[in-house]
Amino acid sequence: MTSLFDLTGKVALITGGSRGLGLEIALAFADAGADVIVASRKIENCETAAQRISAMGRRGLALAVHAGKWNEIERLVEQSYSHFNRLDILVNNAGMSPAMPSHQVSEDLFDKVIGLNFKGPFRLAALVAERMAAAEGGSIINISSGASWKPMPEVVPYAGAKAALNAMTISLAQEYAPKVRVNAIAAGPFLTDISKAWSEEQRSRSPNAAGRPGRPEEIVTSALYLASPASSYVSGTIVRCDGGLRG
């Protein structure tokens, strides 16, 4: 059964891949045999992650990108294909979720949240899907959130962007089928860097069936499943990885 999760010979691109959930996914993909492109705004962090991947015997590439700006996204795609000549897996993981009362959200902040969580992922997924469909196919994984379906105060722009990401996932799965599979992971609360700002209560307990936030490594199996041949008949699906988050 382990062969189902074998990514040997595959090339994966992960935005926001230098820390948190993105880094865990990058390292898991490398451990499964994939070469991995780590992209985020801070190139130093990407280089550190790429070095860890190289130390595992895989090819790691660090690329700087603002995942909400289309001109930088287009350059990222060109650089990725120029270096590896292919992409088999794309993980749209970069995002931001500032919490504040809705009446205090500025137009600039609204645009930044929508840009990074929906506008950018749309452009990147569309460009990569087109190339995948013209080649051997591939898998695109969009990292969504429980906020996309569960009412949560003070994160309305973020929740709206993630709901749009879910709709995009289903639509692109139809548009670029059958060679390209597009799915999303609706992540619940995870103990990543953002959780450092949480209270001790929030870090130890969550309103889900598990009763706690997730550990970053607990998203790995969902990502491996959607990236690998194990999910060859799964597309246009939103997989919840949230410990049983209650509505």
Q: Are 68 and 120 in contact (CB under 8 A)?
A: yes
Interhelix angle for 220-227 vs 20-31, to 10°?
A: 50
Q: d(Cα 72, Cα 75) in Å, to the nearest integer? A: 5
- Cβ burial, residue 229 (10 Å; 0-12/13-18/19+): exposed
Report how far apart, in Å, the C-alpha atoms of 91 and of each of 22, 98, 155, 205, 209 are. Answer: 8, 22, 23, 28, 27
Class of domain 2-241: alpha beta
Q: d(Cα 244, Cα 247) in Å, to the nearest integer? A: 9
Q: Are 188 and 166 in contact (CB under 8 A)?
A: no
What's residue 1's pLDDT? 54
User: Which residues are annotated as catalytic?
Assistant: 144, 158, 162
Lookup: tokens for 44:
């130093």
What's residue 193's pLDDT? 72
Q: Are 225 and 217 in contact (CB under 8 A)?
A: no
- Where are the chain's structural domains? 2-241
Amino acid at the residue 157: P
Q: Are 14 and 8 in contact (CB under 8 A)?
A: no
Report how far apart, in Å, the C-alpha atoms of 11 and of each of 49, 59, 139, 246 are. Answer: 15, 9, 11, 36
What's residue 195's pLDDT? 65
What's residue 200's pLDDT? 82
> Which residue in 131, 105, 97 sits closest to 21, CA to CA?
97
Q: How many CB atoms lie within 10 A of CB 182?
A: 28
Report how far apart, in Å, the C-alpha atoms of 45 and of each of 37, 41, 71, 155, 175 are. Answer: 13, 9, 22, 27, 35
What's residue 177's pLDDT? 98
Mean pLDDT by runs of 10 across the 247 residues of the chain is 86 97 96 97 98 98 98 98 98 94 98 98 98 98 96 95 98 98 95 74 88 92 96 98 91
Query: Which helix (H) or strand (E) element contains residue 224?
Result: helix 220-227
Query: Which helix (H) or strand (E) element contains residue 180?
Result: strand 180-187
What's residue 2's pLDDT? 64
